[in-house]
Structure 1
Amino acid sequence: MSVTDFANLPLSSEQLATLKTLQYNQMTPVQAQSLPAMLAGDDVIAQAQTGSGKTAAFALGLLARLNPADFHVQSLVLCPTRELAEQVADEIRRLARSQANIKVLTLCGGVPSRIQTQSLQHGAHVIVGTPGRILDHLTQQRVHFSRLQTLVLDEADRMLDMGFQAELDQIIAATPATRQTLLFSATFPSQIASLTERLMRSPKHVVVEENPIENSIEQVFYEVSSDSREDAVIQLLLERQPDNAILFCNTKRETHALFTVLHNVGFSVQALHGDLEQRDREQTLLQFNNKSVRILVATDVAARGLDIKALDMVINVSMAHDTDTHIHRVGRTGRAGEVGLAITLVTPADEYKFRLLQDTMPTLGQPQQLPESAAQQVRPLHAEMTTIHIMGGKKDKLRPGDIVGALTRNNVLDFDSVGKISIQSINSYVAIKKDKAKLALSCLNNDKLKGRRFKARLL
């Protein structure tokens, strides 16, 4: 038996069976280093990047302490964004399969408070949410943490970056001093150090070194002038023709400006930044993940915590302000054993940033001149799918099988025309091949799901 085998941990036989079913065969470094301390009841500080397996680590830790017969809130997980909270909640539910009647509730903005209040009245073992909405329910006395056993701060650095310090302080003050606290952060700035000193008791420190990105990611640096970056991006996208790509900018203004240029040229593109309404942000991510949009132009805060399994290319349109952020951006491509491509545009004003990057990664070499364009006659790739929004979801007992059944009944569509399906609380989304979209929309609007009619529209 390997030392990284889950069977080495004091987990129940049911939990080990669940891990085997989910094909969680060996622990990742962050799991191997943090889980023994978590299961022993210790406070833990873990410095690890997205994609390191940290969610499964703290999920297994908190599930091991739960009492299914007690419907008070026993675990609270705080996340910076709704998207991350949804991913975390889904992972906890998957890992809780073997534990009967475990209720995991997500409390985030973008969903009416009254719906969440109704769910809270039925009790919950685990709550996952964003600080703002959690504090709202707490101050209205709709939720109580007097029986809380485990508090998890996921991506704590980003929560502080986004200005949640005051909300965190108020929420933590409402939890028992005897709780176990687990803090996960990609970076460890002074704010985090100050936070851990105030809220943790003799925590165990776990630092997981990131895998060298040079091995799995080709990094290319191009020298450009500050006013030619948009033209450079267009040239690179036309020449490389990625299936999907994220273009990183440093500000919301830059993000919106680049999105407008690319959209006008004819690219399949959406923008992701802090000024977007929650619903628009959520739908943008859905479209990118289900192949209805090929290119995402994003700021760092907006892109943190995205669950993207395979990404062809990253372009740093603006160089990141620090090395950690650059590594985090670049690390989004080249996952699951694939070789990724990360292109960074370097202007004369970026010389200092580039020198700092070279200190960390000495093999980078020097920025190249952008070659003459070889793509004058090439057209932007269109997205292969489009997304249909159905006004009904989990509250209406809808399941993915209901949607697939309605679309493929009587051979209206074949299974290959149906892509990813996302069922949320009061909305559902299904990706459909573009040439079948109108047929699918007509089918959904004129057929019944669960014996009812639901309105559907193209995004």
Structure 2
Amino acid sequence: MTAQTLFSTLALQPALLDTVTQLGWQQMTPVQAQSLPPILEGRDVIAQAKTGSGKTAAFALGVLQQLDTTLRQPQALVLCPTRELAAQVAEEMRQLARAMPNCKIMTLTGGTPVQRQADSLAHGVHIVVGTPGRVLDHLERQSLDVSAVSMLVLDEADRMIDMGFYDEMSHIEALCPRQRQTLLFSATYPDHVDKDATRFVRDAIHVQVQTELTSVPVQHYFYAVAAEERFDAVVRLLLHHQPTSALLFCNTKLVSDQLCDYLRSLGFSALALHGDLDQRQRDEVLIQFANHSCSILVATDVAARGLDIQGLPVVINVELPHQVESYIHRIGRTGRADQTGVALSFFEAKDKPLLQLLQQAGIDTGVGVLPPASRQARPHSAPMKTVVIIGGKRDKLRPGDILGALTGDAGLDKDHVGKIQVGMVVSHVAIATEVAALALDRLLRHGIKGKRFKAHFVRNS
């Protein structure tokens, strides 16, 4: 640990330094150490770093440092490619801003009525985090005013461009003040991104952090499996490895749903995540997976970006993606926070060109042998169940209130209660499966802080 990489060496306001200390952060990650000094100097920055490298905190601290909470106008606009990433970024920014009084951070994404978002914007907000389509929608409706925006952040810029958002990004950028700071973060930086993104920044500092696959602490295994045999091969791997959580990638929504249904029919705790789900469904799927109410998530690449699932030991590529970059993003879900992960991939003859490119990137693509089918092993049951409470921040609920109700009147031990997430109008709490039914019954009868709330298990948990 060198003095130059300590957060304490940065010219951050005391409230932010205190929060960083409380979070247990001392040393900056490489992308933070290289990008934060120029960000705090007001320079435009283009940074390339893989997902999970700490880039969100880098631009979040820069945004919060220059914020004036007495000015009730958006001063920073953060664009993200997906709803999930926008929600995650906003949550991390709220965590870092918790010592800053009255700091209002709002997400603008699809799945929430436009008028409800417009009403919230009218009450004043300091930071907007959103997807290009919905942000542009509010700009065109004139419900979002960006005249005071002094910082524009393009998070996962490569993904936004690949998803066809370049025109929306350009339109939004043109509506922001010319005198502003622009930060562009990207997991990859191919030539077309360099060409498309250059117009958004001025005299930018370029930061590039090691992103080779060999730098990721992941063990890679490849298996030659015919398409019609993949589902059974997935079962063999799951029963052999018995992971507490596993993320399975498919290339289409149809295959994701079919595999999820097959696994559920065998007793596995599995849910699917893809673009056909509405926002509420997507949120609840991710909440259940994150809090261990579901052990297996079967997803398309909509889940490859922005998901920050702690302690994910296994990723399975049921179908290999078409590009090396997509493979990087998929396996980037595991092997995080200095933990070793496992990436298991099936391939056919048509995937040989991708395997050659992966080998050139330093990955051992030697063909492995599937473990034998086990007659004794059984699917793991999810250790937790998720309870939905129809009440949240608008009802003055806090995580401690819910925990107190569960360990007080409901009679649960603290160890029976998992992750608690309090939203604006709805809250979610993970409860150990063996006591979940009893806890829900007592919660309904006794309420929280003397007030009764409607509550139920997540429908598909």
Q: TM-score, normalised by structure 2?
A: 0.94
The answer on whether the counterparts of 1:274 and 1:302 sit within 8 Å (CA) in structure 2 is: no
The answer on whether the counterparts of 2:240 and 2:371 sit within 8 Å (CA) in structure 1 is: no
Q: Point out the more displaced range, 243-252 or 163-172.
A: 163-172
What amino acid does structure 1 have at the position aligned with 2:54?
A: G
Distance 1:396 1:172 in 2: 37
Aligned twin of 2:242: 241
Q: Closer, same or farther in 2 for the Cα pair 1:450/1:335, shift >3 Å? A: same
Q: How far off its partner does 1:257 sit?
A: 1.8
Q: How far off its partner does 1:268 sit?
A: 0.6
Q: How far off its partner does 1:191 sit?
A: 4.3
Task: Verify: 1:176 aligned to 2:145, yes or no.
Answer: no
Q: How far off its partner does 1:214 sit?
A: 6.4
Aligned twin of 1:194: 195
Distance 2:431 2:101 in 1: 36
Distance 1:10 1:150 in 2: 18
1:336-391, CA deviations, whole angstroms, 9 ceiling, x for partnerless residues?
Answer: 232211111122221111111111115x1521232432x12321111011111112
Distance 1:287 1:14 in 2: 33
Q: Secondary structure at the match of 2:4?
A: coil
What amino acid does structure 1 have at the position aligned with 2:423?
A: Q
What amino acid does structure 1 have at the position aligned with 2:327?
A: H
Q: Point out the more displaced range, 155-164 or 57-66.
A: 155-164
Distance 1:431 1:100 in 2: 29
Distance 2:285 2:352 in 1: 34
Aligned twin of 1:206: 207
Q: Secondary structure at the match of 1:389?
A: strand
Distance 1:127 1:275 in 2: 25
Aligned twin of 1:227: 228
Distance 2:331 2:48 in 1: 18
Structure 2: gaps of 5 or more residues = none
Aligned twin of 2:330: 329
Aligned twin of 1:70: 71
The answer on whether the counterparts of 1:268 and 1:382 sit within 8 Å (CA) in structure 2 is: yes
1:378-417 residue pairs with structure 2 within 5 A? 378-410=377-409, 412-417=411-416
Q: Closer, same or farther in 2 for the Cα pair 1:317/1:24, shift >3 Å? A: same
The answer on whether the counterparts of 2:217 and 2:335 sit within 8 Å (CA) in structure 1 is: yes
Task: Verify: 1:280 aligned to 2:297, yes or no.
Answer: no
Structure 1: gaps of 5 or more residues = none
The answer on whether the counterparts of 1:225 and 1:348 sit within 8 Å (CA) in structure 2 is: no
Q: Closer, same or farther in 2 for the Cα pair 1:127/1:429, shift >3 Å? A: same
The answer on whether the counterparts of 2:72 and 2:126 sit within 8 Å (CA) in structure 1 is: yes
Identity, % of aligned positions: 51
1:191-243, CA deviations, whole angstroms, 9 ceiling, x for partnerless residues?
Answer: 42233222211211111112654672221111222221111111111111110
Q: Secondary structure at the match of 2:315?
A: strand
Q: Closer, same or farther in 2 for the Cα pair 1:52/1:192, shift >3 Å? A: same
Q: Secondary structure at the match of 1:446?
A: helix
Aligned twin of 2:48: 47
1:130-169 residue pairs with structure 2 within 5 A? 130-169=131-170
Distance 1:79 1:243 in 2: 30
What amino acid does structure 1 have at the position aligned with 2:45?
A: V
The answer on whether the counterparts of 2:409 and 2:442 sit within 8 Å (CA) in structure 1 is: no
Aligned twin of 1:440: 439
The answer on whether the counterparts of 2:109 and 2:131 sit within 8 Å (CA) in structure 1 is: yes
The answer on whether the counterparts of 2:307 and 2:333 sit within 8 Å (CA) in structure 1 is: no
1:105-116 residue pairs with structure 2 within 5 A? 105-116=106-117
Aligned twin of 2:256: 255
Distance 1:61 1:379 in 2: 49
1:264-320, CA deviations, whole angstroms, 9 ceiling, x for partnerless residues?
Answer: 111110111111111111100000000000001111223311111111111111112
What amino acid does structure 1 have at the position aligned with 2:21?
A: K
Q: How far off its partner does 1:410 sit?
A: 3.5
Q: Closer, same or farther in 2 for the Cα pair 1:156/1:218, shift >3 Å? A: same
Q: How far off its partner does 1:321 sit?
A: 1.3
Q: Closer, same or farther in 2 for the Cα pair 1:382/1:98, shift >3 Å? A: closer
Q: Secondary structure at the match of 1:410?
A: coil
Q: How far off its partner does 1:129 sit?
A: 1.7
What amino acid does structure 1 have at the position aligned with 2:75?
A: Q
What amino acid does structure 1 have at the position aligned with 2:382?
A: A
Aligned twin of 1:305: 306
Aligned twin of 1:370: 370
Q: Point out the more displaced range, 301-310 or 147-156.
A: 301-310
Distance 1:84 1:96 in 2: 18
Aligned twin of 1:58: 59
Task: Verify: 1:349 aligned to 2:329, yes or no.
Answer: no
Q: Secondary structure at the match of 1:369?
A: coil
Q: TM-score, normalised by structure 1?
A: 0.94
Q: Secondary structure at the match of 2:289?
A: helix
